[in-house]
Amino acid sequence: MDKNGYYGGESASLNLNDLFKKFKGVEKAPEELKLGSSRDYNVDLCPKLLMACGNLVKTLLSTKVTRYLEFRSVAGSFVYKQGKIHKVPANASDAWKTTLLGMFGKYRLQSFLNFVVQYDYGVAKTWPNKMDCKKVPMSEVYKYYKLGDDIQEFVGHAVCLYLDESYKNQAAHETIERAKLYALSVARYGNSPYIYPVWGLGGLPEGFSRLCAVHGGIYMLNKPIKKLHRDGDGKITGVESVDENGKDAVAKCKLGVLADPTYFMNDGKAGSEIKQIGQVARWICILDHPIPNTNNADSCQIIIPSIQLKRKSDIYISCVSHHHNVAAKGHYIAMISANVDAKDEAGAKAELKAAYSLLGKTKQEFFSVSPVFTSMTKDDSKLFITNSYDATTHWETTCSEVLSLYTRMTGKEVDLSIKADLEDQE
């Protein structure tokens, strides 16, 4: 059941006219802007890229949703350092070519990446200096390979996609596996580890709705949620809405109710079921050129580690284009997203100024600041509320939450033993 008239909720993909209606309050895009046809655009409100060998691709393959989707590779993965954009090195060859490091740094990174690719926890001889990586913290592995702060910065944030530095004090195994996943994903399709669905992320919920119908389920748009029904112990038993005649009707449930935080807002304020933990600014920019200094990439991700701008958190930039059928010919959709402290638009934009300066001249912009909520409910209530979408431009954090929710609701784990190979999906 979806209260909206379109698929995807907060992660929908909108055409140009709908984008102007949502952000500018006008019915259609002004023709004098010369942005092309509205129907040529599918602009994601919360753009995220898929790791080619990651768990989301495996989940889509295992559920067979990929039969309704088509993907194309993302051309580049970059990291920001000292005011410049650099390609993220993901293998030994990249390490030797990178402009991020000096000669000794390149050699050390090359040694580390060679180790990552051949690492197998089940084979002790692949461990660094006989260190058990499920017990030894990542800081010790960095120390063994003599990797300085500059290398640790982009390995942690741009390769392993961590949000802060706490991972260094945790067992090294997960970090090494993340680095290995990144390298294998790059090897799968070429210049970056990421892929992206043709016609935008809106295709994901549409694909699931089709699969739902195949298995006898019903996906309802424009269906308002009036209230939740509970039993004497406070457990969810159903959802009240209205039927086709406008009369109250209740859909009963066994596993429980899964919903996003926007269903628990009262007069713009969070209800008792959710708690605000921050806010995310998103700056959508339409360009008529690739982002400068990205080798004319038709699509890319750029991560600006927090330490580079002396911030609390990283800034993310994603860019997709007509190559993915999400913009008119010759146009590009860039999105800047980050956690911000400022309460007003001017202050939030000031926090993202360094990232905005990387884009070059823009043709049109749309800006928003959205609250980030987390659930305050317990599983025994049978009410499962997702977290708000975070600022990242990849699906890794969200996918981890989805897999966890599935296990919490069903008591089972999603089988991800399938090979993440879209070419073999048939």
Is residue 52 domain-shared with residue 184, that is, in the same domain?
no
Quick one: tokens of 408?
């919490």
d(CA 179, CA 166): 16
Quick one: tokens of 195?
């892929």
Identify the domain boundary among 362, 378, 394. Answer: 378
Is residue 198 domain-shared with residue 180, that is, in the same domain?
no
Query: Of how many residues is the chain composed?
Result: 426
Number of domains in the chain: 2
Is residue 216 domain-shared with residue 306, that is, in the same domain?
yes
The residue range of the domain holding 165 is: 88-189
Is residue 367 domain-shared with residue 310, that is, in the same domain?
yes
Neighbouring-strand partners of residue 71: 197
Quick one: tokens of 114?
């060679």
307: CATH: 3.30.519.10
Give the 3-state secondary structure of residue 265. Answer: strand
Output Rg (C-alpha) for the chain, integer angstroms: 22
Identify the domain boundary among 189, 209, 231. Answer: 189
Is residue 159 domain-shared with residue 214, that is, in the same domain?
no
Exposed, middle or buried: residue 411 (CB in 10 Å: 0-12, 13-18, 19+)?
exposed
Distances (CA, A) of 217 to 29, 61, 63, 211: 37, 20, 15, 8
pLDDT digits (tens, 9 = 90+) for 205-258: 999 999 999 999 988 888 988 999 999 998 999 999 988 888 899 999 989 999
Is residue 65 domain-shared with residue 103, that is, in the same domain?
no
pLDDT digits (tens, 9 = 90+) for 157-188: 999 999 999 999 999 999 999 999 999 999 88
Is residue 12 domain-shared with residue 63, that is, in the same domain?
yes
Is residue 198 domain-shared with residue 143, that is, in the same domain?
no
**Structural domain includes residue 227:** no
Is residue 140 domain-shared with residue 199, that is, in the same domain?
no
**Structural domain includes residue 295:** yes
Buried b (16+ CB within 10 A) or exposed e, 309-323: bebebbbbbbbbbbb
**Structural domain includes residue 207:** yes
Is residue 32 domain-shared with residue 94, that is, in the same domain?
no
| 426 residues of the chain, pLDDT tens digit each | 899 888 888 888 999 999 999 999 999 999 999 999 999 999 999 989 999 999 999 989 888 898 899 999 999 999 999 999 999 987 778 888 888 888 899 999 999 999 999 999 999 999 999 999 999 999 999 999 999 999 999 999 999 999 999 999 999 999 999 999 999 999 888 789 999 999 999 999 999 999 999 999 988 888 988 999 999 998 999 999 988 888 899 999 989 999 999 999 887 788 899 999 999 999 999 999 999 999 999 999 999 999 999 999 999 999 999 999 999 999 999 999 999 999 899 999 999 999 999 999 999 999 999 999 999 999 999 999 999 999 998 898 899 999 999 999 999 998 888 777 776 554
d(CA 74, CA 195): 5
Give the 3-state secondary structure of residue 300. Answer: strand
Is residue 202 domain-shared with residue 335, that is, in the same domain?
yes
Region of 130 on the Ramachandran plot (φ > 0 left; ψ -120 to 50 alpha; else beta): left
